[in-house]
Each structure stands twice: as C-alpha cells, then as structure tokens.
C-alpha cells in the first residue's frame, strides 16, 4: 500500500516532526543502521531492479486477498496505476541514500495512509508482506552477511517515520476538533449573549427593559454599599400620555416614546443607565451620584425635552439620592422614587388646575 506516496504534500511536516539531518542520524543509530548496511542494500539493487515487476505483481496479488485492503484500493485500474509508485518505493529501499529527501518521501507515505484512514494494522501487514517477498528474492542475491539484516533495518527505519505521521495526524485531528469545539462554544456564547441582550432590551425605544432594571439596580445598589458611594435614581413618566394616545393615535404615541427614549439616552453620563420601566415610564440609575449631580441630569433632560418637543411633551421626574449607609434595597429604592414622581405629578396637576382657574 506504500504506492500512494505521491498524493499528499506537506512541506512543513518534516519540520513539524523535527526530521533534520541530526534527527535522521540519531534514528539510524538507535536501530543500528549504518554505512555497512546501506552498502549491503546497494549491492542487491541490480537484482531487485531485474525482478521488480514480478515482486510488485506478487505483492499486489497477495495484498488484494485482504478484504479491507481491497476495499481501500478499490478498482483494479487504480491498482495498476499505482504500480509505478510501488516500484519506485521498493527500488529506493536499495538506493543507499537515506537522507532528508528519502525521509520526506516516507513522510508522504504516512500522510497518505493517514488521510485514507488506513488502519496501522493493515499498513504493518503490508510491510510484513513486502519483507517476506524481498527476503525470498534476496536469497538469490550475491551473498552478503548483512543483507537481510540491512533490509529489516531499513524497513524498520521507514516504519518509525510512517508511524510518526500517523501520530501527528491524530494530534492534528484532536487539535482541529478542539479548535472547532472552541469555535462552536464561542458562537454559542455569542448567540446566548445576543439573546440575553434582546431579552433585556425594550423593542420600542432601544433602552434596557424592566427585567434588566431589576438586575442592574440590585447590582448597583450592592456595589454602592460595598464601595461606600452615593447613589441616585430618576423615575419619570410622560405627562398626559393617555391624552396623546387618545387624540393623536397610538402610532404617534409610540413615536413620542421612541423620541423620549432617544433623548434620555443622549443626555446621560457614561456611567448612567436608562431603562423603559413600562408604558410611558422611564428610569435612570446614577451610580456614584449625589443630589447635586442628579439635579443637573434632571435639568439637562428638561432642557433637551423642551428643545425636542417645543414644550408640547413634558415629563414628571422624581429623583431620590442616598448615601451608602442610608441606601435601602433596590425594591425600596424604586418604591421611594416612584412615590416622589407621583407626588411631583400631583403637584404639577394642581398647579395646572390653579392656573386654568
């Protein structure tokens, strides 16, 4: 099955596996493959060249008796086309040159077998078959005390290179799976965050919604207590919003809410967060802000509202501020500022009624 050598190209594989000249020499030393063995193999090359067709033919016939190998190779025409690669492989065993070029060819063999998912047991079986065939033919070669030992050593040298590529392919496969898992995890996390943003966002105004307010408010109150910092909150609603809806229609009312939401968002400090509480009610958290800062934010909002609506739309704004040691829990914060807003609204209503009289 080694004939598949020319199908894959990975110029970086030798570098990845650190197969430089020193590593090649070290691997030869580990299995006792030295110049005498290399010389013995070159002596047998002429005889192998003379018999190469017969060797390849017998190798093909016998390996195709293994059903798993036959299934991988497939069509007989393919087997015939691959015969040239097998011839070159066998002859290279007897070349006497086992350098970086030789190793690169073996790496490609291993790479192709790994890509084709040839089980190592089948590759080992074909190496054993090739060894048997070559030993039989070398019996007719000129006698040399190291020839058979040299053949087994060069086959073992090849085998360790091919097995390295199998192992590297598995390492690469696991790394690719890990990378894909990380990518899928990141994508899933991104989708979850996007869904959470949608779930926390008011679709009409683009501000955060009441659900988000509960979470953010609890978090900011806890932080203010821990940091010993002041905390303020604004709570507001659009005056006479029901009348706006009744006289101008809900579409116009929605447009008013969108514009109010945009105006609020444009007039916050960087650390502030605005929310649509529901209906025509809005809320702003002002962490680290005392009454003075809260008052300036209210003034900015009223000025912006006047400019945006020319006095035709107004807000009733309640504001409450606490120091860290007086700050209640967030439910208490909302209750206090809600009362303040409605007290201001009632005061404005009474003032309007008195003016009308």
The CATH number of whichever domain residue 47 belongs to comes to 1.10.490.10
| CA 342 vs CA 133, 136, 337: distances in Å | 100, 105, 9
* Pairwise CA distance, residues 178 & 172, whole Å: 10
Give the pLDDT of residue 250: 92
Q: Is 217 found in the same domain as 149?
A: no
* Pairwise CA distance, residues 231 & 223, whole Å: 10
Helix (H, G, I), strand (E, B) or coil at 224: helix
In a domain, 341, yes or no: yes
Task: Please report which helix (H) or strand (E) contains residue 320, including its range.
Answer: strand 315-322
Q: Is 232 found in the same domain as 166?
A: no
Closest CA to 152 of 166, 132, 137: 132
Q: Is 347 found in the same domain as 277?
A: yes
In a domain, 250, yes or no: yes
Do the Cβ atoms of 28 and 148 come closer than 8 Å? no
Q: Is 267 found in the same domain as 172?
A: no
Q: Is 230 found in the same domain as 118?
A: no
Do the Cβ atoms of 150 and 37 come closer than 8 Å? yes
* Pairwise CA distance, residues 283 & 237, whole Å: 9
Give the pLDDT of residue 350: 52
Q: Is 310 found in the same domain as 226?
A: yes
Q: Is 237 found in the same domain as 159?
A: no
Give the pLDDT of residue 345: 74
Closest CA to 5 of 75, 101, 94: 101
* Pairwise CA distance, residues 164 & 113, whole Å: 12
* Two structure tokens written together for 314: 């107004």
* Two structure tokens written together for 68: 């798993």
Q: Is 235 found in the same domain as 129?
A: no
Last residue of a domain, one of 180, 201, 236: 180
What's the domain count of the chain? 2
* C-alpha atoms less than 13 angstroms from C-alpha of 268 in its C-beta half-sphere: 22
Give the Cα-Cα-Cα angle 250, 253, 258 (nearest 5 degrees).
125
* Rounded (10°) angle between helices 147-199 and 120-138: 170
In which domain, by residue range, is 220 found?
Answer: 210-356
* Pairwise CA distance, residues 303 & 341, whole Å: 18
Mean pLDDT, contiguous 10-residue spans, the chain (357 residues): 41 76 93 96 94 94 90 77 85 93 87 80 93 94 90 95 86 91 95 92 95 94 95 94 92 95 94 94 96 95 92 92 93 90 72 49
* Pairwise CA distance, residues 141 & 136, whole Å: 10
């Amino acid at each position: 099955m080694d004939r598949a050598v020319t199908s894959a190209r990975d110029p970086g594989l030798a570098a990845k596996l650190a197969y430089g000249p020193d590593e090649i020499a070290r691997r030869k030393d580990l299995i006792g493959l030295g110049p005498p063995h290399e010389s013995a193999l070159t002596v047998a090359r002429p005889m192998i060249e003379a018999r190469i067709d017969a060797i390849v033919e017998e190798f093909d016939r016998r390996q195709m008796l293994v059903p798993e190998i036959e299934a991988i190779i497939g069509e007989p025409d393919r087997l015939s086309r691959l015969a040239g690669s097998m011839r070159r492989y066998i002859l290279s065993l007897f070349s006497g040159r086992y350098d970086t070029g030789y190793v690169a060819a073996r790496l490609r063999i291993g790479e192709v077998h790994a890509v084709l998912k040839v089980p190592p047991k089948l590759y080992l079986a074909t190496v054993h078959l090739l060894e048997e065939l070559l030993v039989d033919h070398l019996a007719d070669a000129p006698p040399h005390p190291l020839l058979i030992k040299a053949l087994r050593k060069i086959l073992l040298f090849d085998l360790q290179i091919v097995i390295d590529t199998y192992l590297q392919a598995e390492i690469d496969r696991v790394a690719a799976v890990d990378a894909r898992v990380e990518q899928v995890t990141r994508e899933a996390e991104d989708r979850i965050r996007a869904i959470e943003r949608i779930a926390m966002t008011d679709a009409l105004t683009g501000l955060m919604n009441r659900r988000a307010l509960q979470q953010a408010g609890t978090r900011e109150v806890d932080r203010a207590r821990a940091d010993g910092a002041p905390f303020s909150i604004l709570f507001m609603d659009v005056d006479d919003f029901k009348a706006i809806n009744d006289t101008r229609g809900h579409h116009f009312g929605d447009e008013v809410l969108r514009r109010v939401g945009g105006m609020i968002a444009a007039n916050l400090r960087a650390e502030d967060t605005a929310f649509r509480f529901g209906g025509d009610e809005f809320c702003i958290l002002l962490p680290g802000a005392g009454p003075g800062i809260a008052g300036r934010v209210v003034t900015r909002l009223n000025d912006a509202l006047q400019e945006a609506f020319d006095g035709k739309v107004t807000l009733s704004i309640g504001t409450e501020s606490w120091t860290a040691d007086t700050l209640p829990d967030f439910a208490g914060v909302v209750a206090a500022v809600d009362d303040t807003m409605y007290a201001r609204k009632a005061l404005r209503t009474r003032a309007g009624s008195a003016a009308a009289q």
